[in-house]
């Protein structure tokens, strides 16, 4: 683990200090999917466009919706508005977003020869819209809070490229691991190589920390997760050491000890993994991020405040970045999100 010292003077650098394991005067907070449908101001921007991808690919607008939750909700970090699937897109496998369905790949990866045709993403060319959005955001944030960059974990990206869409079982992607293990490794390596240069380009453009989202980690048997998931996360964590890095492997409770040994600063937790279990299995060194049940934002104010305080007390106030255990759900009332954030900001241990 490398410790990072800020060269920018942030007005609020709580999250960077927490990620670095330094003592903080209060727990920093942000929400996965904070830039998005929960905000009417986001929906207003989105309504003027042809679709989700147009927003992702228009740097000025992506920057605008990235900053909205900083202004409107008071979070301690911005996260660049983008999508994990820009990587397959940049590798030569385009996707489209279908209303009410989610991402669809009209062409999927079926064989080793399909993988040969894919290129390593060139972030300075194919993903310039992301690095431009980061540069604009950084300028407009003007040091108020740090900016988080992100990418999908290779296994999760792989799943979409094989399956072609979301799935309850991802049985096509999982079949490929059993039937074509060498080709699977080739594809995972190409995704990993693309992700490393992509994250480095994000950092160059101004991302102050980065997060890897392994959304479908929980579907793999442990032995497969270690082989096809964790090995590639490890390569990325070892290669990207310019800024603090967070790994969020949703549902991968069975591999938490191994995840805890990655060369990263922060481990994101879903709402099933208690702070006690995480500390016991990960040890004392890493910062933990999470993990309120996102559905608690549907509860009464009293219950939400009580459970938020309980979460804070369980994590103990240091080496903790407060967040939900999953992305905030689109129909969440922004007032509840503000209550969650303000409860964290005002909490006395």
**Of 17, 33, 174, 234, which one is the catalytic site residue?**
33
**If binding is defined by CB under 8 A, does position 296 make contact with its own copies?**
yes
**If binding is defined by CB under 8 A, does position 253 make contact with its own copies?**
yes
Backbone CA torsion sign across 27, 33, 35, 38: negative
Taking the CB of residue 300, how many other CB atoms lie within 10 A of it?
10
Site string for its own copies, 168-197 (x = CB under 8 A): xx-x--xx-xxx------------------
Q: Side-chain half-sphere of 305: how many Cα atoms within 13 Å?
A: 11
**Of 76, 83, 89, 208, which one is the catalytic site residue?**
83
Q: For its own copies, which residue of 51, 221, 283, 316 counts as binding (CB under 8 A)?
A: 221
Q: Which residues contact 302 (CB under 8 A, 6 or more apart)?
A: none
Residue 46 is a catalytic residue? yes
- Nearer of residues 65 and 177 to its own copies, judged by Cβ: 177
Residue 132 is a catalytic residue? no
**Segment near its own copies (CB under 8 A), from 2-10, 79-87, 141-149, 219-227?**
219-227
**Of 26, 37, 144, 279, which one is the catalytic site residue?**
37
**If binding is defined by CB under 8 A, does position 43 make contact with its own copies?**
no
Minimum distance, C-beta of residue 314 to its own copies, in the bound complex (Å): 13
Angle at 106 between CA 37 and CA 34, to 5 degrees: 15
Residue 174 is a catalytic residue? no
**Dist. CA 346–CA 328, nearest whole Å:** 21
Would you state the structure tokens that stand for residue 232, as one six-digit string?
A: 């590639």
Number of residues engaging its own copies in binding (CB under 8 A): 28
DSSP 119-182: ----TTTTTHHHHHHHHHHHHHHTTSS-EEEEEE-HHHHHHHHHHSB--SS-HHHHHHHHH-HH
Interacting residues with its own copies (CB under 8 A): 166, 168-169, 171, 174-175, 177-179, 218, 221-222, 224, 253-254, 271-272, 293-296, 298-300, 303, 326, 329, 331
**Residues taking part in catalysis:** 33, 37, 46, 83, 160
């Amino acid at each position: 683990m490398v410790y990072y010292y800020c060269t920018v003077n942030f007005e609020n650098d709580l999250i960077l200090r927490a990620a670095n394991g330094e003592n903080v005067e209060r727990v920093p907070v942000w929400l996965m999917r904070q830039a998005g449908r929960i905000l009417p101001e986001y929906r207003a921007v989105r309504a003027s466009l042809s679709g989700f991808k147009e927003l992702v690919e228009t740097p000025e607008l992506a920057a605008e919706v990235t900053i909205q939750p900083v202004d409107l909700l008071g979070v301690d970090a911005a996260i660049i508005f983008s999508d994990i699937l820009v990587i397959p897109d940049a590798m030569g496998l385009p996707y489209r977003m279908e209303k009410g369905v989610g991402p669809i790949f009209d062409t999927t990866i079926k064989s080793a020869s399909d993988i040969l045709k894919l290129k390593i993403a060139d972030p300075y060319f194919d993903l310039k819209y992301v690095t431009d959005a980061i540069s604009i955001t950084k300028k407009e944030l003007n040091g108020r809070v740090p900016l988080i960059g992100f990418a999908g974990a290779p296994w999760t990206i792989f799943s979409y490229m094989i399956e072609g869409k979301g799935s309850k079982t991802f049985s096509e992607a999982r079949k490929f691991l059993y039937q074509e293990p060498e080709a699977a490794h080739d594809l995972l390596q190409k995704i990993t190589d693309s992700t490393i240069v992509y994250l480095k380009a994000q950092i160059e453009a101004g991302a102050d920390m980065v997060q890897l989202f392994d959304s479908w980690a929980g579907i793999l048997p442990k032995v497969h997760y270690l082989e096809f998931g964790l090995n590639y996360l490890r390569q990325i964590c070892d290669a990207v050491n310019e800024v603090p890095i967070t790994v969020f492997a949703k549902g991968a409770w069975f591999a938490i000890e191994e995840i805890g040994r990655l060369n990263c600063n922060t481990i994101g937790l879903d709402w099933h993994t208690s702070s006690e279990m995480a500390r016991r299995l990960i040890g004392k060194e890493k910062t933990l991020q999470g993990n309120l049940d996102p559905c608690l934002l549907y509860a009464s104010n009293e219950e939400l405040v009580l459970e938020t305080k309980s979460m804070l007390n369980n994590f103990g106030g240091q080496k903790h970045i407060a967040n939900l255990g999953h992305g905030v759900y689109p129909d969440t009332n922004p007032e509840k999100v503000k209550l969650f954030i303000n409860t964290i900001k005002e909490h006395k241990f």
